[in-house]
Each structure stands twice: as C-alpha cells, then as structure tokens.
Amino acid sequence: MKKQFFMLTAVLLMCQGIIAQIIDVTGKTESFTHYWSVGVGAGRANEGLRAGWLEHLKLVKEECGFQYVRMHGLFCDDMFVYFEKPDGQVIYNWQYVDEVYDRMLELGVRPFVELSFFPKDIAAENSKTQMWYRNNVSFDRKKIDKWHDLVKAFTQHVVDRYGIDEVSTWYFEVWNEPNLTGLGGFFHGTKSDYFLMYKESVNAIKSVDKRLKVGGPATSNFVPDDRHKGEILDHKKSVFYSQDVINTKQWKGVWIEDFLRFCEKENLPVDFISTHPYPTDYALDPETGRSKDAIRYVHSLYDDIHWLRNQLAMSKYPNAEIHLTEWSTSPNSRDCMHDHLPPAAFIIKANLDCLGLANSLMYWTFTDVFEEKGGGEELFHGGFGMINFQGIVKPSFHAYRMLHQLGDEKIYYKDPLFVSRSTKTGKISALAFNYPKEYESHVPGASDISDYYKASAKQLKITLKGLKPHTVFQLDLLDTDHGNIMAAYNAMGRPHSPNHEQTEWLRQQGRATLKFMMRADEHGELTINRELAPWACLLIKEI
C-alpha cells in the first residue's frame, strides 16, 4: 500500500466543535529512562554466528535502541570453550565467543552475560540435556572448582580483550531459570546447588575485578503456590486457578527471598537481582489447550515489580538493580499470539505503566533465529522474536520502535496517551494506544486469536498546547491494516514457502505502518480527534 500523507490543521478540527482534553506541553515534567531498551533477549550464543541474526540485531539496534543482548549457551559445547586433555590439562578456547562479542560490540550492543550452560567435561557424568541443541544441565558438586576456574578464565579473557573500562559496564548473570528441573528444565540440581554455583561464580568474577557487576538468580515465572519452596520443583504443588480467582492470589518471585538470605549469610555481593515476570503461569502451553486459565491480568507486571522492590528494601541489598531479563506475553516459543497485533499494545501499556520501577525489562526475543525447539515449521510459528527468520518485522517490533522515539521527560500519562519531551532536541513525542478493556483481566493468549478484533475501540480526543505556531507532527499508525504482518500474510493465502518476490513483499508490508502529517494552528495548538481501533498504536512525533 502506498504511504498516505495528509496535512490537517488544528483550526479545522476546532471549527468542528470537538471538545478535547487539553495538555500543556510547557508544564511540569518528570525525567525518565528508557528501561525498555536497556536489553533484549536472544536464543543462544551460537546463533549469534549467523548472518541473519546479526542483520536483525543491527535493525533493532538502529530502530529500537537496544543496548545489551542476553542469550543462553555461552559455555555450550557448540561454542567449544573447554577442552580437557587426558593428562588433566585444561585448554580454554574463546574464538567463538570472541566472534559473537566482537560483532555485537561493532554494532554498538554490549553483552548481558548469562553464564550457562555446562561444557560436557564440567557437567555431571551422563548429564541430562535439554532443548534441541542438547545443552548440558546436570550439576556435579565435585566439579565446582572446574566451574569456578572456567568463569574466572572467561572473565579475565574479556577484561584482557576489551578492557576493564568496557567490561565494567557489562552484567554477569549466573545461569538461566535454575529452578526449572525435570523435563524441559534448565538445571538438574537443587536450590542449594545453585546457591553454591552462584557463590563460586561471584567470587571468581570479583577476583578479576571487584567493579564487575554480578547477579541472579535468573529464576522463571512468579507463582502463587509452594511448588518451588523446597530444594527442587514439586509439580504436585502446582495449582491452576480459574480466571475469576487467578488475579486475587499473591504471586511471588521464585527463590528470591531464599537467594537474598543466602547471599546475606555468606556475605556475597548482589549487584542486581534478576527474574522473569511473564504474565502467565509457567505451565501455560497453548499447544495443549491450556491458555486463558493460566494467564494473569494486564497489571501483573506492576504487581510483580512492586513485590520484588519490597523484598530488596527489606534485605541487605536495597540498592541492587532490578533486571527483568525475560518477558513477553507468554514463555512458549510456539504461541501464535507472538506473531499478531495485540502484543504491541500490551508491550507499550505494560512498559509505560511500570515506568521507573526497574532498571530493565528485556523482551524475549528480538529474532526468530531461535532453536530451543528446533526451527519453526512455518514462516510464522509463534516464535518469540519481534522479527521472523526471513527478516519480516512483527507488530512487537513497531511497539519498541515507537517507544524508542519518546523523549526523556514525561509531560503526561494516562491510558491511552503518553506525552514526552526530549531534553536533547526540545521536541515533543507522544504515544497513544488501545489496550481494550475486555482484556484487562487476562493478557491476550492463543485462545483469543479469533476474537481479539471484536474488542472495544477508544476515542482519542486531545489538544496539545504550548507548541510553536504551525509546528508539524508526523503520525505513525500501527493497526489491523497497517504494519500488521499477519493480515498481509493471510491476504496472500499463507504460502508455506513464499518465493523471493513474495518474501520481499511481506517485508515491505511488515514495515508499512500508516504515516500522515498534522500541523498546529497559529496559536500553537494541535488537536487530534481519532478513533483507535482495538490494539492500535499511534506515534505522534514533532518533526
């Protein structure tokens, strides 16, 4: 579709008798940081050797502003970091790690280092493996010294290669979701085993330089029950609540309280706390039909961060940073909702609602070059990425692109409108969005695919005053018909293997949000009266 540009004036709208909410852009402001663009997730380190992965990273760096990338599998066997000779000699090989990190840094993106998983010779004998790429996850206490030495050698290497001034800006997170054991789990060991591993890791890293930032426990979802109270996950204590009950329960971060107490007892540093506040029970699996009954309401992120802040305030580590190192609409890489429009409005609303409460909220993930379950069977298979394997952007990409264009001073926020100013340019930018009231009780999931467009529209009626006369704004609309790749793919007939021309057309349609212009009147007032369709997102930016 060709881009449409319209020049409209506030005077015309005022003559039509519109009564709009008036927002004075010269009023009091509040500084804020773009915590949504601090970091973003990726599958595993070896995927960073792919051309497509790097192309997608370049795109999200340029248009979404991400500063760090966090990924699994830094020490997996496919990164070839650890060689143990028959005589006991150990050789560390950093060539593959260097290749990934060098290219990331060239693009202006730093590693948010996740220390995982075990090289075969450090894992327990006959280690359990998980995921398609068979990562070793079994812990052996008798080999904890080898783990300590590996972490120390890695840390010393990156300091030697990139310099302490650079590496002191990085973050070192110990493992990924160690609370998940058994089928599909990331750690075959106990809670105490993980705490020992954290102790050895933080001591190894700090022995290289005390300025380096270390944290954990990188645990999975908040839960409303006692399944993680013991040393290992007890599935028998997992409770599924009905939709009318689920949001009345107190959800708590997994292992957080025990982790803080352990670190205090052992006098260990905790530079940041990390966890993964998905808005679902981790057991949610759209492939089995369990969906709505396991999904929490749209304010769950706000609740979870406040719970986490309270735990830190009561601990020895009240100043520890909060990094939420995975987050999305659900933790399933085959949830078709990830490809659709609703996540964009959810991303914008959740991030703006929680402004100032955390140091980062990292979307999982930036690309569908992601192989935990192997490659996707189809072009759009519910992958986590905001960009699919072929480089076609999804609505979630536009959500982060729009958030990135906000300023750094908040002028006004009340759902559905956020207004900001840039201290660098003095220009105004705003975001309007329609997260429909019908989905306040549960974040949209796979079971809602056929119904979500039936939700309510919202009327946006605003006047921005205090502008320079005749200031020009560009409006950028993401909705059902513009930038919504699934609508374009469906219209094409959903070819399983599109040819080159079809793929290029889909790339163009993924980027084809509707752009048009508006101009303030001679009094410096801009009035917008527009219906926002369900899930629509509208960027309003002074140019």
Partners of 93 in the β-ladder: none
Whether the Cβ atoms of residue 369 and residue 47 lie closer than 8 Å to each other: yes
Give catalytic residues, as residue numbers.
177
Burial class (CB in 10 A: 0-12, 13-18, 19+), 38: buried
Which one, of 207, 187, 185, lies nearest residue 197 by Cα?
187
448 CB-near residues (< 8 Å, 6+ apart): 292, 337, 342, 439
Which one, of 424, 85, 391, lies nearest residue 383 by Cα?
391
Q: Which two tokens stand for residue 118?
A: 């075990």
Counting other chains too, the contacts that 157-165 makes at CB distance below 8 Å and 24 or more residues apart are 157/92, 157/94, 158/101, 159/208, 159/209, 161/94, 161/98, 162/101, 162/105, 164/209, 164/211
Which one, of 457, 459, 509, 461, lies nearest residue 488 by Cα?
509
Residue 383 per-residue DSSP state: -
Burial class (CB in 10 A: 0-12, 13-18, 19+), 473: buried
Q: Which two tokens stand for residue 321?
A: 């940073």
Q: What are phi and psi of 4, to 5 degrees?
A: -110, 130
Angle 525-528-530 (CA atoms, 0-180°, nearest 5)? 175
> Taking the alpha carbons of 414, 419, 420, 426 in that order, is the dihedral positive or negative?
negative
Q: Where does 129-255 have alpha helices with state H? A: 144-162, 164-167, 191-208
* Amino acid occupying residue 102: D
d(CA 11, CA 296): 44
Whether the Cβ atoms of residue 179 and residue 220 lie closer than 8 Å to each other: yes
Q: Which two tokens stand for residue 148?
A: 């300590």
CA end-to-end span of the chain, whole Å?
23
Whether the Cβ atoms of residue 425 and residue 281 lie closer than 8 Å to each other: no
d(CA 397, CA 361): 15
Question: Helix or strand or coil: residue 535?
Answer: coil
- Crossing angle (nearest 10°) for helices 300-313 and 342-353: 30
d(CA 59, CA 61): 5
Q: Where does 330-371 have alpha helices with state H? A: 342-353
Which one, of 393, 375, 276, lies nearest residue 334 by Cα?
375
